[in-house]
Amino acid sequence: MKLEFIEATTISDSWFLCLNKIFEVGRTYIVDKGSFAGQQRLEFDYITIHIKYPNTRPLLPECPISSGIPNPAPNEYLEEYLFYLMTSTKKSNESYTYGMDIEPQMKEVIEILRKSPNTNQACMTIGDANSIKLDDPQCLKVLDFRVSNNKLHVVIYFRSNDLWGGYPVNIASIQILKEYIAYETGIEDGGIIYSGKGLHLYDHCWEMAKKVVGKNEK
């Protein structure tokens, strides 16, 4: 497996850097099982991304006007996604929401960080022993909070993640969650460390991604 590392300033910067890098080092394969089975993915084997200032606005990346490509996700979708991430509310067509696991743990994490900021135990896990039986198990698995140099950081693990539209919304919403926990604990907001296998682009996004990062230019 190829292990990649990207250091970025903002969420938007990390997205553009990943788009550029995946065409250089990503591997292509046909999905046997999972979302869009039968389609091709271009994928990082394993990547770690350090985002130094994830609170920089706007949180979501904006495609260059010259590319003619729409932004990967509108701000309205981010607002909707926050309910999915931070609350236990589940729609009838959903097997789960991240919030079903995160909301019950959020108060505990806040209480731990208030009382004992120098700890390795402020860690949320998503999913349980039955998750593997789902048709589409949770992609986000861990939110691990750490206070370092008096700032609140979070280490994220994703088992799989769509780089085009999923990654920017996922990271932006987790940043908002982190800002809330930082506010509730009185700790200054810090960075994000993203890690995981399976950060990918589906083949129907390849041409759009190339235009955004100028890979089509001669």
d(CA 191, CA 53): 6
User: What pLDDT score does 217 carry?
Assistant: 53
d(CA 209, CA 211): 5
pLDDT in tens, 117-144: 999 999 999 999 999 999 999 999 999 9
- The C-alpha angle 118, 123, 129, rounded to 5 degrees, equals 155
The Cα-based distances of 5 to 27, 144, 146, 148, 213 in angstroms read: 16, 19, 20, 21, 19
Given a cut of 80, is residue 192 above it in pLDDT?
yes
pLDDT in tens, 70-99: 999 999 999 999 999 999 999 888 999 999
How would residue 29 be classed by pLDDT, with cut points 50, 70 and 90? very high
CATH number (3.40.50.620, 3.30.572.10, 3.40.50.2300, 3.30.70.580) of 3-213 reads 3.30.572.10
> pTM for this structure?
0.96
Average pLDDT taken over every residue of the chain: 95
Given a cut of 70, is residue 218 above it in pLDDT?
no
Beta strands 188-197 and 46-51 are antiparallel
